[in-house]
Amino acid sequence: MEKQVLLYEGKAKKIYSTEDPRVVWIQYKDAATAFNGEKKADIKGKGRLNNEISSLLFSLLEERGIPTHFLEKKSATEQTVQHVTIIPLEVVVRNVVAGSLAKRTGFEEGHELSRPIVEFYYKNDALGDPLFNEDHIEAMKLAKEQELLEMRALALMVNSVLLPYFAEKKVRLIDFKLEFGRNEEGALLLADEVSPDTCRLWDEQTNEKLDKDVFRRDLGELTDAYETILTRLGGALHV
């Protein structure tokens, strides 16, 4: 399999075609962005860390029966995945209050929820990724009621796998964002990435942030935090 033409460049990844129309080649970039692209930086080594961590977590989720787009890690910063049509929704699962949920509800950051909260945001940079309810999603024809139920169930399954997995590694899974898409056969697959860019991960002992909030809030070296996560997950150390 060969990487061919650049199909799309996002904020964190480049997507290339391959000779197989059902497969695309993802290259993770050394770029960090936050606040809808307002804050930006080049961060050497970030692409490799996210590619390693995402490959590792997608493999775990596949093993546990969750259908994902992941096919194969191709290099330190690249992987092949099934090409999907992305459903333009960011599906967020939260176990602990943080970020916008603290602002929305008035709960303190760190407040433990008695059960997970699932949220759907419209993936639209121009509108600032607004929160949607099911009526908004159906009115905009982004997904049908049945698809919403499926995405919600899959998102909660992902949480049920990742929460104890991270806990074993002494990491608290605070919240995470998923994207779903449909492949050529119409199957709903977990797509995009699962990495410290898309999860909030806090050290179990100290609550030290080991995720993109380190960049958003200027808390230190982002790659140190991501390296800590990769090491705890048993991934290869940087050489």
Ligand X SMILES: Nc1ncnc2c1ncn2[C@@H]1O[C@H](COP(=O)(O)OP(=O)(O)O)[C@@H](O)[C@H]1O
Please say whether the beta carbons of 94 and 119 come within 8 A.
yes
For residues 111 to 130, the per-residue mask of contacts with a copy of itself, x marking binding by CB under 8 A and - elsewhere, is --xxxxxxxx-x-x-xx--x
Residue nearest to ligand X (CB): 10
Residues 28, 16: Cα–Cα separation, whole Å: 11
Residue nearest to Mg ion (CB): 12
In 3D, which of 211, 226, 234 has the Cα closest to residue 60?
A: 234
Among ligand X, a copy of itself, Mg ion, none, residue 179 binds (CB under 5-8 Å by kind): ligand X
Tell which positions 6-35 bind Mg ion, by CB under 5 A: 12
- Contact positions toward ligand X, by CB under 6 A? 8, 10-13, 15, 24, 69, 81-84, 86, 179, 181, 191-192
Residues 34, 91: Cα–Cα separation, whole Å: 18
Is the Cβ of residue 126 or residue 239 nearer to a copy of itself in the bound state? 126
Least distance in angstroms from the C-beta of 112 to ligand X: 29
Provide the binding-site residues for a copy of itself, judged by CB under 8 A: 103-107, 113-120, 122, 124, 126-127, 130-136, 139-140
